Amino acid sequence: MDPKTFHSVWMGMWWAIETVTTVGYGDIVPDQTAGKVIAGFLMLGGLSLLAVVTAAITSGFVSRAQAHGQITGSDPVMQKLDELTAQLHAVQAELEHLRSASGPDSAS
C-alpha cells in the first residue's frame, strides 16, 4: 500500500472496488464512509447484474442451438451416443454368438 496515495487500508479497498468495477477514480467521490460503502455495494451490484444478464442471454442462445440440433438431428453428442449404442449392440451380439457356439458341453 502506498501511504502517500492511500491513507488507510479502506481507501485502498475503495480504489480496488472502483477499479474492478471500471468506474474509475473520478473527481466526485463520497467523502463519508457510509457513502463509500453504499457506492461500493451499488458498483458491485451493477457488475453482478451485468454478469447475470449476460449469462441469461447466453443461456438462451445455447438452449436454442441445442433445440435446433435435436430437431435437425445434427447434434454431435447424440450422433456419438448412437454410434456407441450400435457398437455396444454389436459387441453383445458377438458375445452371444460366441457363447452359443461354445455350447454348454465346452464348460470344463
Averages of pLDDT over each 10 residues, the chain, 108 residues: 73 79 68 84 87 95 86 78 95 93 66
Write the single-letter amino acid at 92: Q
C-alpha cell at 98: 460366441
The confidence score (pLDDT) of residue 26 equals 61
The confidence score (pLDDT) of residue 104 equals 67
Instruction: Tell me if 21 sits within 8 A of 44, measured CB to CB.
Output: yes
Q: What residues contact residue 17 under an 8 Å CB cut-off, 6+ apart?
A: 40, 43, 44
pTM of the full predicted structure? 0.47
Q: Which of 38, 40, 2, 34 is nearest to 21 (CA)?
A: 40
Write the single-letter amino acid at 61: F
Instruction: Tell me if 24 sits within 8 A of 30, measured CB to CB.
Output: no
- Give the domain ranges of the chain: 12-21+34-101
The confidence score (pLDDT) of residue 32 equals 83
The confidence score (pLDDT) of residue 27 equals 59
